[in-house]
Copies of this chain bind each other. A is one copy, B any other.
Amino acid sequence: MRARSHWGWGYADRFPDAEGQAALAAQVGQVLGLPAGALARPVPLDHVAVPTPRVDVPASLGVPCARDPATRARHTYGRSFPDQVRAFGGDFAPAPDAVARPRDEREVEALLEWASGAGVALVPFGGGTSVVGGVECDGARHAGVVTLDLGALNAVLEVDDVSRLARIQAGALGPAIEAGLAPHGLTLRHFPQSFEFSTLGGWIATRAGGHFATLYTHIDDLVAGLRMITPGAGVYATRRLPGSGAGPSPDRLALGSEGTLGVITEAWMRVRPRPRWRASVAAHFTDFEAAVAATRALAQSGLYPSNCRLLDRREAALNQVAFDGTDVLLVGFESADHPLDAPMRRAVELLRDHGGALPRPPTLRDAGAAGRDATAGQWRAAFLDAPYLQSTLLSLGYVVDTFETACTWQDFPALHAEIVDRVRGAMKAHCGGGRLSLRFTHVYPDGPAPYYTFIAPGADLPPGADRRYAQLERWAAVKRAASEALIAHGATITHHHAVGRVHRPWYDRQRSGAFAAALRGAKDALDPAGVMNPGVLLDPA
C-alpha cells in the first residue's frame, strides 16, 4: 500500500526530494517575488517522540487498539497549516494515548460506554484531513484521550438502484465509495479536494462542500438518513426519507456536529448515474467587477451549472489557467439524461452580455468522446495538487494557507475590500509581504462562497527549530486578520472547512448565545459525561 505522509498532505512519495524543493523555491521566488527560507526536511516518523500514555483501552472491551508511537503520532493532527508545521518539525506533543479501531457499532458502543465512565476524551477520526483542528484534543480536563479511528467501517453495504440510494459506512474513503458504487453505474459525485483521503463520516460531521458549484453538492443535501452512536442516549437513527416535515430535521443536527454529539457510523446517501453529457467553457474578463456580475447572473439564472468557478487573475495565473492578467470564469454542465446545448447556449449569452471573452467556443461532449476542455482540465489538475503544494511550500518556510466563507452578493464587494486590506496588511506587518488570491468555489442565487489563498515569504525566518514557532506565529496573525474581517462583515467563519478548534473564537461570535445554549442542551443529553471531542463547537463542560 502506498504510504501516507506522517506530516504533510496525502502520499509520502509526493513530497519532493531536496532538488525538487529547491526548484520550487526558485520558481516561487521568481514568479511571485517571494523568497523561500532555508531548505528543510521533515523529522522522520521513527525519530519523533510522543508522551507516555496516561490511559489504555481495557482489553476486555475487545476493541482493536494501538498504542505504538507511530500510530499515535499519525493520529495526532489533521492537515491544517499549524498541524503540518508541527508534525514536520517532529512535534507530536498532543498525541492521543491510544488509537481504537472498532469493527462494528457494538464496539463503538463499548468504547463510548467505557470512556464516559472513565472520563476519557474520545476523538472520532475519519481520514484525518481536518484543516481546522478537528482531531487534536487537549486532554487536560480528562483522564486521557483516545482516538476512535473509523477506518474499519469502510463498506458500501447496500445499494437501492430504484431510489438511487446507497447505505455506506462512515469510515469509507472517497475512492472506496466510488469503487463500491461503480458496479451499479452509480456515483456519489462528492469530490471535495480531500476526496482521496477523507471519509463519508468526516464529510457529514463537518458539512463538507462538494465539487459542484451549484445545486445539490453539499453533503447535507445528499444524506437521506443516518446512524450516530451516542454515549448517553443510544443510537441516534433517522429514517431514510426523500423529505420530511416532522419536527426539526434530525439529520441536520448530526450534520456539522463534528464528533461532539456521537459517532456517525453509516448513512443512506443519494447517489446518481455517471454523467454522459458534459459541456464547458471558459470566459475571460479584464474587469473583476464584470466577472463577478457575470457569475451572479449565472448563479441567478436557474441554469444551475455544475461548474461555475470564478478565478481572479492571480488565481488564474497560479493555476496556469490564464497568464494574460484576466479573471477567468469556468462554466460547466453535466447530465446523465440529456444533451446540454440549450443551457450552454444561454450561459454563453450571459457571459458575453457581461463582457466575457471566449477565446474558445464551448466544448460539448458525449460520453464516448475523448478530451476535456483544456482550461478546465488544467484547473482540475491544479485543484488536486494544491494541498501537496502547500506542504512543500511550508517546508520552505512559506506561510501559506486558504480560508473560505460565504456572503451575500450585496455584501461581497465591501467584505472583499476589507479582507484584502486586513490580510495584506497582516502579511506586510508580520511577514514582510505576501500574495492573496481569490476564487469562488460555490455560488448561490443569494451570494458566492469566496475562497482565498495567501502565501507569504519565509526568507527572513530564523534557522532550525525556531523557524517552526515563527511560522506558526505569522500564520496565526494572518489567520486572525482574515477571521476578524469575516466576522465583522456578517459573513460565515467557514463555508465548508468546519469549525474545529481553530475557528472557535470567531464561531462563538457568529452564532447567537441562544443557539449555543440549545446546542449545549442537546450535547448534555447525548453526551452527559462530556467525552465526545471536547473543545470543538463548545467548551468542555
Cα separation A522 to B253 with both chains bound (whole Å): 11
For A242, A255, A442, A526, which residue has the most chain B Cβ atoms within 10 angstroms? A242
Asked if residues B246 and A492 are in contact (CB atoms below 8 Å), the reply is yes
The distance from the CB of A370 to the nearest CB of chain B, in whole angstroms, is 24
Asked if residues B407 and A230 are in contact (CB atoms below 8 Å), the reply is no
Is A289 in contact with chain B by the CB < 8 A criterion? Answer: no
A218-B245, A237-B512, A521-B523 given; 7 more Cβ-contact pairs under 8 Å:
A163-B446, A163-B447, A242-B445, A245-B496, A252-B253, A518-B525, A518-B526
Asked if residues B507 and A242 are in contact (CB atoms below 8 Å), the reply is no
Is A432 in contact with chain B by the CB < 8 A criterion? Answer: no
Cα separation A178 to B231 with both chains bound (whole Å): 48
Asked if residues A300 and B164 are in contact (CB atoms below 8 Å), the reply is yes
Kindly supply a per-residue 1/0 record for chain A positions 511-525, scoring 1 wherever the CB is within 8 Å of any chain B CB and 0 otherwise. Answer: 111110111111111
Known contacts A236-B512, A342-B342; A518 and B407 CB within 8 A of each other: no
Interface residues on A, range: 35 or more
**Number of copies of this protein chain within its complex:** 2
Is A232 in contact with chain B by the CB < 8 A criterion? Answer: yes
Known contacts A521-B524, A523-B521, A526-B518; A409 and B163 CB within 8 A of each other: yes
Residue of B whose beta carbon sits closest to that of A298:
B337
Within 232-254 of A, Cβ neighbours of B (below 8 Å) are at: 232-250, 252-254
Is A160 in contact with chain B by the CB < 8 A criterion? Answer: yes
Within 302-355 of A, Cβ neighbours of B (below 8 Å) are at: 302-304, 335-338, 341-343, 346
A253 contact set on B, CB distance < 8 A: 248, 252-253, 515, 518
> SS class of chain A's interface: helix, strand, loop or mixed?
loop
Asked if residues A246 and B507 are in contact (CB atoms below 8 Å), the reply is yes
Asked if residues B446 and A518 are in contact (CB atoms below 8 Å), the reply is no
Is A130 in contact with chain B by the CB < 8 A criterion? Answer: no
Is A87 in contact with chain B by the CB < 8 A criterion? Answer: no
Cα separation A492 to B235 with both chains bound (whole Å): 19
Within 483-524 of A, Cβ neighbours of B (below 8 Å) are at: 490-499, 503, 507, 510-515, 517-524
Chain A residues in contact with chain B, CB under 8 A?
160, 162-165, 206-209, 218, 220, 224, 228, 230, 232-250, 252-258, 261-262, 270, 272, 296, 300-304, 335-338, 341-343, 346, 406-411, 442, 444-449, 490-499, 503, 507, 510-515, 517-526, 537
A261 contact set on B, CB distance < 8 A: 518
Partner pick for A247 among B220, B496, B537, CB 8 A cutoff: B537
Known contacts A239-B492, A346-B338; A246 and B303 CB within 8 A of each other: no
Residue of B whose beta carbon sits closest to that of A209:
B245
A246 contact set on B, CB distance < 8 A: 256, 492-494, 498-499, 503, 507, 510-511
Partner pick for A248 among B257, B411, B495, CB 8 A cutoff: B257
